Structure 1
Amino acid sequence: MDNDWSTAGFVPFLVALDGDIDVLALASDTANSWQPQVALHAVATLEAGNLSCIPVYPGATWPLLNTPHRFHAWEAMHGDLAWQGAFAPENKTLEAEGNDPTSGNPNRIVKAAFKEGFPKGRPNNSTSAANFMVEMVRKYPGKVSIYSAGSLTNVALAVRMDPEFASLAKDLVIMGGYVDDNMLQATGSILQADFQSDINLMIDPEASKIALTADFPQITITGNVANQVFPDKEFMKDLIKVHNPYTELFYKYYDPSFPFWDETAAALMVDPSLATNQTSVYLDVDTSYGSPNYGNIHVYQKALSPPGVRQVNYVFQVDGDRLKQRIMHAMQYPRSCADLH
């Protein structure tokens, strides 16, 4: 499970464990914040629930080509994104108040951001995230799902490292890949524009293209649908009826004005029947730096698709009630290492 982990970002691995999926490891990537900070969040949130038996492998800190400077030069031509992720300008004032680091030195660690507690352990540096993925699909051919809810850099590196990597995996499930969102960006609030900022793909457009055109047996895109279901007041009230480290962290630190982004993708990986409306399309990623759609996806029907693209499963709608029930149960009754051995 490859993600830009945060204080309240543990729900995806809890949902996977609750769905009887063996989580082989967590991997860290640069998307909302820099990879080194994200890796420590992964370790810390595992420690919070006695899940340190799951290793964390550090991913790539830098995208294949993109940098904060290059990203802001693109914004100067095409307009600012409401959400800039790790490439937002460095802000030491916000970091002192507990924000994860952005821009500046990617290897610096901001301890004030660890509301879950600074971890006692550290990531497993015996290998890289991409190499671990390759090793696992070769060890368990056809059985390993790759969950990616941050940038796709690590997945793309694995694809390039081993030409059989993608075909040996079970599937790839991503959070990201919005379509038909330009009017919402223009006419909605800044918060609505934030919801349409496809930062997971835009942090590393070239990696996104490599990963999403690779020959995985199946690719599931959780784009627009990830904006559909929110943790409303009733959800939060019911959640905290059961007190444990995860429900308390979520109740205190998850902003309920944000939808279940990464959580929706994880739940669809565990239970594809949650999708109530989906279709198959051919998909590509715009990697033209001079394009206002740089890092965004474009979809086609087969007869009109260009060479080199592939068919993916695009989910439009999920059963919101079942999704919330699955998320709540995963947090209220989390698995621990004692349950996994």
Structure 2
Amino acid sequence: MAKRLVIIDTDCGIDDAQALMMALAAPDLQVLAVTCVFGNTAVENVCQNVLRVLDVCERQEIPVFRGSAGPLVGARRTPGDHFGTDGLGDVFKDQDPQWEEKIQSEHAVNAMIRLVTEQQQQVSLVALGPLSNLALAVRLDPGFPQKLRDLFIMGGNMEGKGNVTLCAEFNFAMDPEAAYVVLEDFLCPTSLASWEYACRNALTWDFFQELIGQNFPAAVFMRTITSRCWAFSQESSSSSSSSRDVPRNKREVFFGPGFVSYDAYAMAACIDGGVVTDSVECPVRVELQGSLTRGMLALDRADELKKSHAVRVLTRCDPDRFRRMLLDSVRLPRDRV
């Protein structure tokens, strides 16, 4: 059986690294390229982070392309330091002096269009960061979405609960116009792993310790990049802690404690459709005008928008299948067939 062809568009933070390793570990997947976009950190850091992951997994043959350094409109928002200023927990002091030579000279958007055009209806696109590269692709080639096999997005929200603004999820808030363009113009089969989907399918911290506690190079890498990151601290997610010095993020307030590797949920859905056990199909739209709701995803369950295209919004996953995929992702490198 031919392997499923995939392009991964990422703003490589810690959870993106986990998702990328998940794709590299999947025996039925062939990663054609990794395209980089700003988001968790500057696009230059994203490129270096992707190269680090590929080095750890001994997959340096996969081409990496630099893409959008900012949103379609306006100045780039400050991403904060959820995953550290460099996106990987600020644990690496060394920098490869030749990293730019390892990045392809072709722009990520051009590469994306070229690769999909060469193999129409065969390539799945997994978008793990702001959707700027995808929006530019459809503007350069309006037929681009129809050439895709399907699209998987990590981003947006189902209930107006935001994690960086009052009502918007991070990836959509970083480039609302791009999110709007993609969800209006991409008419290919589209699956969306929202912020709430990830949070409601959180895993235990005991599993997280099992995940990073192995001796494979990829597991050691994950243990290293999460070692100083508050987002991967059990203390930060302890519902029993009463100390005012312990920060509580919005996920903990809304959904309770648990280990959540956000981007891995979208990747898992691409790798194995059986990991998704429930979803909602309906038209969606990204709000651009509201002073409090800019970047929020609206689900049109009542068909008020009269759109012809529906999106599959994921709601529930099989935790056992998801755990197995995560465990496989850190058992790298290993012999490849």
Deviations 1:190-216 (A, max 9, x none): xx7789750101111111111111234
CA distance in 2, matches of 1:158, 1:121: 25
Q: Identify the match of residue 65 of structure 2 among 54, 57, 75.
A: 57
Deviations 1:267-289 (A, max 9, x none): 0111111111102110111121x
Deviations 1:174-227 (A, max 9, x none): 111111144xx6xxxxxx778975010111111111111123421101002111
CA distance in 2, matches of 1:139, 1:220: 23
- 1:136 maps to 2:107: no
Deviations 1:219-244 (A, max 9, x none): 10100211134453332343345312
Q: Identify the match of residue 23 of structure 2 among 16, 22, 28.
A: 16
2:192 is matched with 221
1:91 is matched with none
Q: Which runs of 5+ in 1 are unaligned?
A: 72-85, 89-93, 102-109, 186-191
Specify whether residues 222 and 321 from structure 1 end up closer, same or farther in structure 2 by C-alpha distance, changes over 3 A only: same
2:229 is matched with none
Q: Percent identity?
A: 23
Q: What's the TM-score, normalizing by structure 2?
A: 0.79
Task: Confirm or deny: 8 A CA contact 2:24 2:31 kept in the other structure.
Answer: yes
1:285 is matched with 286
The CA RMSD measured in Å over matched residues stands at: 2.8
CA distance in 1, matches of 2:266, 2:89: 29
5 Å-filtered alignment, 1:161-176, equals: 161-176=140-155
CA distance in 2, matches of 1:152, 1:60: 9
Q: Identify the match of residue 219 of structure 2 among 247, 252, 257.
A: 247
The number of residue pairs the alignment matches comes to 297
Deviation of 1:27 (Å): 1.2
The amino acid of 1:15's aligned partner reads: M
CA distance in 1, matches of 2:297, 2:205: 33
Specify whether residues 247 and 153 from structure 1 end up closer, same or farther in structure 2 by C-alpha distance, changes over 3 A only: same
Q: Identify the match of residue 115 of structure 1 among 88, 92, 97.
A: 92
5 Å-filtered alignment, 1:195-234, equals: 197-223=168-194, 224-234=196-206
The amino acid of 2:171's aligned partner reads: N
Q: Which moved more, 1:240-249 or 1:59-68?
A: 240-249
Partner secondary structure for residue 234 of structure 1: helix
Task: Confirm or deny: 8 A CA contact 1:236 1:251 kept in the other structure.
Answer: no
CA distance in 2, matches of 1:52, 1:195: 40
Q: Identify the match of residue 100 of structure 1 among 85, 95, 100.
A: 85
Task: Confirm or deny: 8 A CA contact 1:7 1:114 kept in the other structure.
Answer: no
Task: Confirm or deny: 8 A CA contact 1:41 1:114 kept in the other structure.
Answer: no
Task: Confirm or deny: 8 A CA contact 2:212 2:223 kept in the other structure.
Answer: yes
Task: Confirm or deny: 8 A CA contact 2:213 2:223 kept in the other structure.
Answer: no
Specify whether residues 302 and 180 from structure 1 end up closer, same or farther in structure 2 by C-alpha distance, changes over 3 A only: closer
Deviation of 1:314 (Å): 0.6
Deviation of 1:158 (Å): 0.5
Q: Which runs of 5+ in 2 are unaligned?
A: 1-7, 227-231, 238-258
Deviation of 1:310 (Å): 2.6
Task: Confirm or deny: 8 A CA contact 1:44 1:116 kept in the other structure.
Answer: no
Specify whether residues 215 and 7 from structure 1 end up closer, same or farther in structure 2 by C-alpha distance, changes over 3 A only: closer
CA distance in 2, matches of 1:9, 1:237: 19
Q: Which runs of 4+ in 1 moved over 4 A?
A: 192-197
Deviations 1:292-341 (A, max 9, x none): 1101111113632255x731001011111210111111212445xx727x
Specify whether residues 170 and 57 from structure 1 end up closer, same or farther in structure 2 by C-alpha distance, changes over 3 A only: same
Task: Confirm or deny: 8 A CA contact 1:152 1:204 kept in the other structure.
Answer: yes
1:339 is matched with 336
Deviation of 1:48 (Å): 1.8
Specify whether residues 11 and 112 from structure 1 end up closer, same or farther in structure 2 by C-alpha distance, changes over 3 A only: closer
Richer in helix (by share): 1
Deviation of 1:249 (Å): 2.0
Deviations 1:52-105 (A, max 9, x none): 11111001101100314xx5xxxxxxxxxxxxxx444xxxxx89xx9326xxxx
